[in-house]
C-alpha cells in the first residue's frame, strides 16, 4: 500500500515538472549574429524571433553585458534618406516570426565593451513585458556579411 502511494506521488511530481517545462520557451531565437564594425563602438544585431505561444509576445527591451546600450531599431528610407526609428516595444503575434535583417529591424548596440572578433559571440538578453527573459548569443560576422 505504501509503495502505491509513493508511486502516485512521484508520478504527480513528474507531470508537474514536465508541465512547467512545456510552458517555458514562448519565444524561440534563431540565427542571431552581429556585424563587425571595425573602429566603431556601435554594431547591429540580426536574428529571427518566433512566438510559439498562443498569446502575443511583447519585447520591451534588450540588455547586453557587451554594450552600454541595446535598443530595437528599424531602418527605413524616408524621403530618399535612410533613417532609424526606435521601438519602445515590439509585439510578435501568436505563431508569427519576426526577422531582424540588414536594412530593416535590428538591435543596436552602442558603447561596445567587448572585443568584436569574428567568430566570437555577444551575449544578449531580451526582456519581455510579462517579466520573462530570453537569452541568446549572437555570432560576430565580418563587415561584408549579409
Ligand atoms: Cu540602429
Flag whether 107 is in a domain: yes
Distance from the alpha carbon of residue 119 to the mean position of ligand 1, in angstroms: 22
Distance from the alpha carbon of residue 83 to the mean position of ligand 1, in angstroms: 9
- Please list all protein residues whose beta carbon sits less than 5 angstroms from ligand 1, which is an ion: 73, 84, 108
Please, what sign has the CA dihedral across residues 84, 105, 60, 108? negative
Flag whether 9 is in a domain: no
Question: Could you list the pLDDT tens digit for every one of the 146 residues in the chain?
Answer: 555 555 555 555 554 444 444 455 699 999 999 999 888 999 999 999 999 999 999 999 999 999 999 999 999 988 999 899 999 999 999 999 999 999 999 999 999 998 889 989 999 999 999 999 999 999 999 999 98
Distance from the alpha carbon of residue 107 to the mean position of ligand 1, in angstroms: 7
Looking at residue 15, what is its pLDDT? 46
Distance from the alpha carbon of residue 75 to the mean position of ligand 1, in angstroms: 7
Flag whether 12 is in a domain: no
Which residue segment(s) compose the domain that 107 sits in?
Answer: 25-141
Provide the number of structural domains found in the chain: 1
Q: What's the CATH number where 34 sits? A: 2.60.40.1890
pLDDT in tens, 102-115: 999 999 999 999 88
DSSP letters, 85-137, are: EEES-EEE-TT-EEEE-TTSEEEEEEEE-S---TT-EEEEEEEETTS-EEEEE
- Specify the pTM: 0.81
Distance from the alpha carbon of residue 20 to the mean position of ligand 1, in angstroms: 36
Flag whether 2 is in a domain: no
Amino acid at each position: 500500500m505504501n509503495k502505491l502511494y509513493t508511486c502516485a506521488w512521484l508520478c504527480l511530481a513528474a507531470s508537474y515538472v514536465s508541465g512547467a517545462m512545456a510552458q517555458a520557451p514562448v519565444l524561440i531565437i534563431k540565427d542571431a549574429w552581429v556585424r563587425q564594425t571595425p573602429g566603431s563602438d556601435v554594431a547591429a544585431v540580426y536574428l529571427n524571433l518566433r512566438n510559439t505561444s498562443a498569446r502575443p509576445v511583447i519585447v520591451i527591451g534588450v540588455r547586453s553585458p557587451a554594450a552600454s546600450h541595446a535598443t530595437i531599431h528599424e531602418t527605413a528610407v524616408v524621403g530618399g534618406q535612410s533613417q532609424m526609428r526606435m521601438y519602445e516595444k515590439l509585439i510578435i503575434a501568436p505563431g508569427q516570426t519576426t526577422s531582424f535583417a540588414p536594412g530593416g529591424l535590428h538591435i543596436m548596440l552602442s558603447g561596445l565593451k567587448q572585443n568584436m572578433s569574428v567568430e566570437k559571440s555577444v551575449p544578449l538578453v531580451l526582456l519581455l513585458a510579462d517579466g520573462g527573459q530570453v537569452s541568446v548569443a549572437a555570432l560576430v560576422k565580418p563587415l561584408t556579411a549579409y
